[in-house]
Chain A
């Protein structure tokens, strides 16, 4: 994977020392909170309901085992023994002390990690397909391009104070696992006429108060032009994006208000001026970064392993875990192993320090020391030999990380909600816990099959509720927690925004309502039709009738 060069290292260390100085000036009273707040936010330190919260960047979701051990150490030494993996492939610590944050950042810098670009109106951490470099359906490893974007965007002087935060996502595969159509800019690696790799460019997606699916801006962008084109896109946004109203400041509003065609024309005009300038990517620079993502030393193996097949035959639990958590790898004999952070009744995305350490060990033993964070708030061992899956599964069971529920109703995405977040209007975690418990029975869970369920504790939509097949939004109704349900959202290549099904539900009725929706699906589905397939075929009517009656 990419290793920092001296420039990065210098920048990160400088930032840590600068922040140490700022913290001590705040504590001594030299800086007021008004002066200090933007400085701490620039270093990923928020103030939440109960304490500070530190958001640590996991660039494009890639972690080494060494980095994971460091996160475990931070959880143990500076926090309360756990961390929360987020839908932006980052990790949040919920109890750091201000006084100790410079030490945390210094420890992170030792393993080339930081909290830069995790806050503020800058280009945030670029996210990617969590199976990057491993997926069987991948054209090229998207991390190469994420890294190029990272280097360009970090501390970009022109784009440090944008109208609003800015999020870019990249996928190199046919199946979109990075939800690129709900990002400010979405990038899909595609093949040009002569087989060369280039990009399809999307813009103006986003959730929050005004959810929108991105519009396609360009069918094919040559690889060398990536940065000049992004620069032009950002410039047009920076120039015309609204600064008068925080809720209208995102690029989605601009693209929506002037239209995708007008936006594209403005970008192309801007681009014409800078295309052949300093941002054109020389082939040797692309090769240099590409080399940093040279695949690990895979063994030459047979596609099928008889030992692996035999294990599945002998052990039903293992077979079930393989069916739900293991995905096809691009290299024969290897597999992608998803580690669910969603035990029935658990807190989605939370992992203890012990679990982080254990997973780091498994990565060393079975996955070339590589780990990934998925935006679904799970972890991934990207390169496991099929023959090692059984031992891995047993090991995961010993630390309660073997839930066989990836992609099922148990794999709920949920933001921290009012249990931690100062912006929340309702709790989200307890609803996730009750639903995963209600559907804990594995026979039933797997019979229901593939369903995404997303929960947000307020309209900011950190839990991506609009793009869940089932979305739940927690609101405050006269001081009571109330939950609004949307159906039909999708975050993949068929991205769509869910529609509100009807009046919301009180906290003691929401889980029953979800069960009613699922039972309705089971009663009307055809053959092996998925939940979203049934919903798309029949529309909301049968679900509405089941929930609210026919009157």
Chain B
């Protein structure tokens, strides 16, 4: 199966975050990776238990590069990890 991770928006400021082994991170590379349907369901259940902290968790498909970094397959999700393509001074890409 393709690799999957869980993403959501943080409740307080709305910024994009990813479920990690023990919480949430703004960095996709720190995301907990699922390789099976069951593992994805388990991650989602964990994410949904955090409904007081995050909004709208859902799974996305990623590819892992040789260096271990994670890249969303869909362009929309790639944009979410970076920020608007038309304002590279904004969003995570600016940091």
Which A positions have Cβ atoms within 8 angstroms of B?
26-27, 29, 32-33, 47-52, 80, 95-99, 347, 418-420, 424, 427, 429-430, 433, 479, 481
Contacts and interface: CB of A to CB of B under 8 A. Distances in A.
Given A50-B15, A97-B12, A98-B11, A424 B76 contact: yes
5 contacts: A26-B11, A52-B14, A95-B14, A429-B86, A433-B86
B85 to A, nearest CB: 6
B80 interface: yes
B12 A49 contact: no
A430 B87 CA distance: 10
A50 B55 contact: no
A433 B86 CA distance: 9
A479 B90 CA distance: 25
Given A50-B80, A418-B79, A424-B76, A27 B86 contact: no
A95 B94 CA distance: 14
B84 interface: yes
A320 B12 CA distance: 48
Given A419-B79, A419-B84, A98 B91 contact: no
Contact of B85 (A26, A95, A430): A430
Contacts of B87: 347, 419
B52 A98 contact: no
A29 B52 contact: yes
Interface string B70-95: 00011110011001111100110000
Given A47-B9, A47-B56, A424-B76, 18 more contacts: A49-B16, A49-B80, A50-B14, A50-B15, A50-B79, A50-B84, A51-B14, A51-B15, A52-B13, A97-B14, A98-B12, A98-B13, A99-B13, A347-B87, A420-B84, A427-B86, A429-B84, A430-B85
A520 to B, nearest CB: 29
Nearest to A37: B55
Interface residues of B, number: 24
A95 B12 CA distance: 12
Nearest to B84: A419
B55 A47 contact: yes
Contacts of B90: 50, 80, 95
B51 interface: yes
A50 B56 contact: no
B55 to A, nearest CB: 6
Q: Which 5 A-B pairs have the closest CB atoms?
A: A52-B14, A51-B14, A419-B84, A29-B52, A97-B13
Most buried by A among B12, B15, B74: B12
A99 B56 contact: no
Contacts of A26: 11
B75 A418 contact: yes
Given A420-B84, A433-B86, A47 B12 contact: no
